[in-house]
Amino acid sequence: MATSWAIRKQAEPSADALSLASLSAEARALWRLRYQRFRWALRIVLAESRLRLALIAVLSLVLWGVIFWLCLDGFHFLRAAVAHTPTHDQIVHHVFGMYLLALMLMLTISSGILLYGMLFRGPDIAFLLTLPVSTERVFLHKFQEAVWLSSWAFVLLSSPMFVAYGLAAQSPWYYYAVLVPFLAAFSYIPAAVGAMACLVVVRWFPGARMLFLAGVIVVLLAGGAWVVRGLSSTSPGDLLTPNWFQSILHRLRFSQHRMLPSWWVSMGILEASQPKQPAPWTTRPPWAESLLFLGLTISNALFFRQVAGAAGGRWYRSAYSRLHTQQHVSRPGFLPRLGWVAPIRLLRQLPPQLAAAADRFLLRLPIGSSATRLLVVKDFRLFRRDPVQWSQFLVFFGLVLFYFLHMRPFSYDIHHATWVNMVSFLNLSVVGLLLSTFTTRFVFPTISLEGRRFWLLGLLPLRREQILWSKFIYAFGGSILPCSLLVLLSDWKLGISPLIMGIHQLTAVLLALGLSGISVGLGAKMPNFRETSPARIAAGFGGTLCLVLSALYIVLVVALTALPSHFWLAFQTGQAAWSPGPFGLWEQSIRFWMLLGIGCSVLLGLAAAVIPMRMGFRAFHQMEF
């Protein structure tokens, strides 16, 4: 270590080390920091997670291609169905306006939430705030990251639609050239609004931030439901008639407000897509109109960025201080000042009582040993006390629930039982895929995290198998209930026959069983004790493999039960004739195929639960901590 002369050297007085960096120099330093971190992360991903990267790239391309194909087909259909050009343009304008307006709202919320995490809870923020960096620069540094993080998916989802429209409308080359600056400038505006909203809430209402967020989400959901209800209240006979179009456009007129950035972008993009002749209402050529809208969008983006930066420079530090000096109120005192209102008092008392009842229920279940049940209760408590877990669970399953509740039972011209059956199995797959993301994200990492504190469990009178069993029971129990209920709701809304409902319920059980086995077994077989973040553990090689295997398993299990059911319904409803075709599809054999499919899926489900668990047991038993 250091010698005395080294310490003397250390202590030599500095010349001008206390002069502050210029504002541009600190901006460059932060950009360089971001570049270096990105370069290292990319290098590591390329070296260690090629499978994951390839999977992401392929899936993104597939998603892009599917959206592009659907949009292209849709725009061609629209052009064929609505020959009258002004009406066609009006419809497209409304579609773009509505889409961009919805995205604007989503970007505002997502960037606000992202910035809250980055500005007030980020691991590096306390470090940055103790450096001699201007507060505005720290704020902008995080703001730029939030813009990128919240808008890349927007670009991925929007670009195929706009490219498809360009092709369908035979747009000139500059249509494609202006797309990027339009989308980039557009994403800045809601991000800046979200940033300022986040700052204002934390600075002046730090104790009510969750209430505020919940209120915004409720308002948006109510607004969305109102729009959906308005659009779907047309009588079936009017579908695709001129009256129907006019009625829909009338209901969407709010998206055409001239002050909305979504309207500017929609107008600018559509102008760029026009042929070179000027529109009747202007003497300017379309490209000039488009550039005017682009200028309007960019100048507003810059204005909002400046305002957000100035607000950050002025209030960010005090907001940070206020948030971190808030008194930590023990749950469930999120409405402490309204505690005297009886319903709120009841609301406050309910969650702990329900939680205690759930704990007691779990402890009395006749499954496993008492130690195993105790471990299950422990995991359940960790789940419900971790807002990251239950909030994601609620949001995603809530969205699926919302979709299922608003699913219309094909009352127009489609009465085919096979179509309904197909949709029901697709819904089942969606629930399964959603479940697989949760088992990968929240169950798979638990073994690795348990390993980090294994000294605690290892010193208790427990067999290691009990730990894995408890994880399996926890994962299965937590999966089967939402999975089964959602599938039941979907079937009920679709008016599915009891036999297919029974098959769906069996498939739901198999999905929960297999996905729990895969996530727990692979989690024990491929743990990562270096990482502390469950998200990073799930994003590693083991997590990616778990996700891929889970997806394959879902496709296989659903296909094994869906295909025979589909053919059985087709023959039952007379949409296909009973005949000995190449696959022998006559009445007796279809029953055999159905039974065989169900039998195979049961066997597959058992294999998916047993094989990874056995591998996991072996690995977990031999593991040294």
Partner 1 sequence: MKRSTPTPMVEFSHVRRCFGQTTAVDDLSLAIQRGEVFAFLGPNGAGKTTTIKMMVGLLHPSQGAIQVGGWDVVRHPRQAAQQIGYVPDEPFLYDKLTGREFLEFVARIRGMSAEETQQRIARQAEVFELTDFLDRLTETYSHGMKQRVVFASVLLHDPPLLVADEPMVGLDPKSVRLVKDLMRAHAAQGKTVFISTHTLALAEEIADRIGIIHRGRLIFVGSLAQMHQEGLMQDKNLEEFFLQLTDGQGRTPKLDASETFSAAGEEAAASSVVPPSADLPTSKEG
Residues that bind partner 1 (CB under 8 A): 1-2, 4, 6-11, 13-14, 17-22, 25-26, 28-30, 32-33, 36-37, 40-41, 44, 123-124, 126-127, 129-135, 317-318, 320-321, 324-329
Q: Which residue has the tokens 């239950």?
A: 390
| Cα dihedral 589, 590, 592, 593 sign | positive
Residue 341's SS3 state is coil
Closest distance to partner 1 from the beta carbon of 138 (Å): 10
Q: Identify which of residues 335 and 367 has a Cβ nearer to partner 1 in the complex.
A: 335
Q: Identify which of residues 327 and 370 has a Cβ nearer to partner 1 in the complex.
A: 327
Closest distance to partner 1 from the beta carbon of 34 (Å): 10
Instruction: Output 434-438 pairs: Cβ under 8 A, ≥24 positions apart.
Output: 434/396, 434/397, 434/400, 435/479, 435/482, 435/483, 435/511, 435/512, 435/515, 436/515, 436/547, 436/550, 436/551, 436/553, 436/554, 437/396, 437/547, 438/392, 438/393, 438/396, 438/479
Q: Identify which of residues 126 and 595 has a Cβ nearer to partner 1 in the complex.
A: 126
Q: Identify which of residues 133 and 569 has a Cβ nearer to partner 1 in the complex.
A: 133
Q: In Å, how far from its chain's centre is CA 124? A: 25
Q: Identify which of residues 12 and 413 has a Cβ nearer to partner 1 in the complex.
A: 12
Closest distance to partner 1 from the beta carbon of 456 (Å): 20
Q: Which residue has the tokens 């990128």?
A: 148
Query: If you ran DSSP here, which 8-state letter would residue 256 be given?
Result: G
Residue 453's SS3 state is coil
* Single-letter amino acid code for the residue at 288: A
Query: If you ran DSSP here, which 8-state letter would residue 22 be given?
Result: P
| Cα dihedral 575, 580, 586, 589 sign | negative
Closest distance to partner 1 from the beta carbon of 48 (Å): 12
Instruction: Output 342-351 pairs: Cβ under 8 A, ≥24 positions apart.
Output: none
Residue 482's SS3 state is helix
Closest distance to partner 1 from the beta carbon of 149 (Å): 16
Closest distance to partner 1 from the beta carbon of 322 (Å): 8
Burial 171-198 (b: 16+ CB within 10 A, else e): bbeebbebbeebbebbbbbbbbbbbbbb
Closest distance to partner 1 from the beta carbon of 350 (Å): 24
Closest distance to partner 1 from the beta carbon of 122 (Å): 10
* Single-letter amino acid code for the residue at 472: F
Q: Identify which of residues 37 and 345 has a Cβ nearer to partner 1 in the complex.
A: 37
Q: Identify which of residues 9 and 121 has a Cβ nearer to partner 1 in the complex.
A: 9
Burial 327-360 (b: 16+ CB within 10 A, else e): eeeeeeeebeeeeeeeeeeeebeeeeeebeeebe
Q: Identify which of residues 44 and 341 has a Cβ nearer to partner 1 in the complex.
A: 44
Q: Identify which of residues 129 and 576 has a Cβ nearer to partner 1 in the complex.
A: 129
Q: Identify which of residues 128 and 423 has a Cβ nearer to partner 1 in the complex.
A: 128
Closest distance to partner 1 from the beta carbon of 32 (Å): 7
| Cα dihedral 567, 569, 572, 576 sign | negative
Closest distance to partner 1 from the beta carbon of 38 (Å): 8
